[in-house]
Amino acid sequence: MATLSEAYKEHPPIDPQHIIPLDFQAIRQVPTSHLWPHQTHDEEHAPSSPSSSSIVPVIDLLDPAAGDLIGRACEAWGIFQVVNHGVPSSLLDEVVSEATRLFALPAPVKNRALRTPEGATGYGVARISPFFAQLMWHEGFTIMGSPAAHARLLWPDDYQHFCDVMEKYQEKVKALAHNLFQLLLNYISPSSPAAAAAVEFDGALQLNSYPPCPSPAQTIGLAPHTDTLFLTILHQSSPGLQLFDPAGLRWSAVDHVPGALTVNVGDLLHVLSNGKFRTARHRAVVMSDTTQRVSMACFYGPPVESVVAPVVSPVDGAPAVYRSVGVKEFLNLKALHLDEALDFIRL
């Protein structure tokens, strides 16, 4: 059975600059490779205006109306925040602390755990990097299942705690993802038996680091993108995530609500919902010249060998707007076309 990790092998980046992050600890000035000339870009690349207040709702999962609230948030924005989500705040703190410990290692040590050109896991730059002319102020570490093989290269005598924390985090967040997914399926199709079917998730945990930057406004942490799979559940240690508001045609900060988790719809859930749920276009900006920001994103999608077909509501009778697509086929489209991938399956 193919895995998500194997599905990534087919499109290896050719240039090492799309794998090996900058040695941020040694840098005193933003190199031209990492300068993003915002002024010359279109509206979408403009820095957010300081007055933009968050449009992303914070939803209490213990609220009896939570299912409706998150469904409506996915229709309007493709993103929401949750509290009372069942992931202990002590565990969130531990993941932040372990991620911080990892990214604080000297560059040559981190590079021991470098992602290989054909690989999906380990230390490296963002996978969307080859699509952009400039490089991003970011380093990441991708985990699928146990991170032991890479963690052992980083801390030969002391890797167990890191692994325990990451595995525990994946277990807790996955339970939340199942919960949310069930609520969302019920929202799309309250009467369909498919909504009750047990869904297997394939997924990954991405640790992101945005090091302190000598001129944060001149660079970008993570360029604008949508996530590929069903759902992303993100924890940010400090503000930096922004959502592109398609109505106002501008970027809006996603508030940093301590203890809350941010959930966004990915392309495949947009397809499954027949376009009803928005796929959230987002980016991460670099905020500080003194503080490192870390975030951890758990991505969940259907098994790579499965097919995603739009759930068409028998009530409103709206026709399918996407054709069915194999997960692997869609991963390939995304790896080749990034933002245009959905255009290839639109009916």
Active-site residue numbers?
A: 293
Comparison of 163 and 235: residue with beta carbon closer to Ni ion: 235
Q: Which residues within the stretch 213-242 sit at the binding site for Ni ion (CB under 5 A)?
A: 227
Per-residue x/- mask for ligand OGA, residues 81 to 100, rule CB under 6 A?
--------------------
Kind of pairing between the strands at 231-236 and 261-265: antiparallel
Q: What are phi and psi of 51, to 5 degrees?
A: -80, -10
Which residue's CB is nearer to Ni ion, number 151 or number 265? 265
Residue 73 binds which entry of Ni ion, ligand OGA, none, with Cβ cut-offs from 5 to 8 Å by kind? none
Distance CA 280, CA 225 (A): 8
Which listed residue (81, 206, 219, 279) binds ligand OGA by CB under 6 A? 206
- Which partner from the list Ni ion, ligand OGA, none does 208 bind, CB cut-off 5 to 8 Å by kind? ligand OGA
Residue of 119, 72, 113 lying closest to 276 (CA atoms): 72
Query: What is the Cα–Cα distance from 206 to 336, expressed in whole angstroms?
Result: 21
What is the 8-class DSSP label of residue 269?
H
Comparing CB distances to ligand OGA, the nearer of 117 and 224 is 224
Q: Does 121 bind ligand OGA (CB under 6 A)?
A: no
Quick one: which of 150, 175, 164, 203 has its CA closest to 82? Answer: 175
Nearest approach in angstroms of CB 295 to ligand OGA is 3
Q: Compute the C-alpha angle 31/33/37, nearest 5°.
A: 95
CB of 131 to ligand OGA, least distance (A): 14
Q: Which helix (H) or strand (E) holds 163?
A: helix 160-188
Q: Which is nearer to ligand OGA, 190 or 246 (CB)?
A: 246
Helix (H) or strand (E) segment spanning residue 81: strand 79-83
Q: How far is CA 334 from CA 213, 234, 324, 341, in A?
A: 30, 21, 15, 5
Q: Given the rule CB under 6 A, which of 72-80, 196-204, 232-240, 304-312 is the region that contacts ligand OGA?
A: 232-240
d(CA 121, CA 338) in angstroms, rounded, equals: 20
Closest CA to 282 of 126, 144, 139: 126
Q: Is 209 in the site for ligand OGA (CB under 6 A)?
A: no
What, of Ni ion, ligand OGA, none, does residue 304 touch, CB below 5 to 8 Å by kind? Answer: none
Which residues within the stretch 37-76 sit at the binding site for ligand OGA (CB under 6 A)? none
Q: Alpha-carbon Rg of the chain, whole angstroms?
A: 19
Smaller CB separation from ligand OGA, 94 or 227? 227
Return the amino acid letter for 163: C
Min separation Cβ 62 and ligand OGA, Å: 26
Sketch the per residue contact string, 252 through 291, with ligand OGA: x for CB under 6 A, - otherwise: ------------------------------x-x-------
Rounded Cα gap, residues 74 and 79, in angstroms: 6
165 contacts ligand OGA (rule: CB under 6 A):
no
Where do contacts with ligand OGA occur on this chain (CB under 6 A)? 206, 208, 222, 227, 234, 236, 240-241, 282, 284, 295, 297
Where do contacts with Ni ion occur on this chain (CB under 5 A)? 227
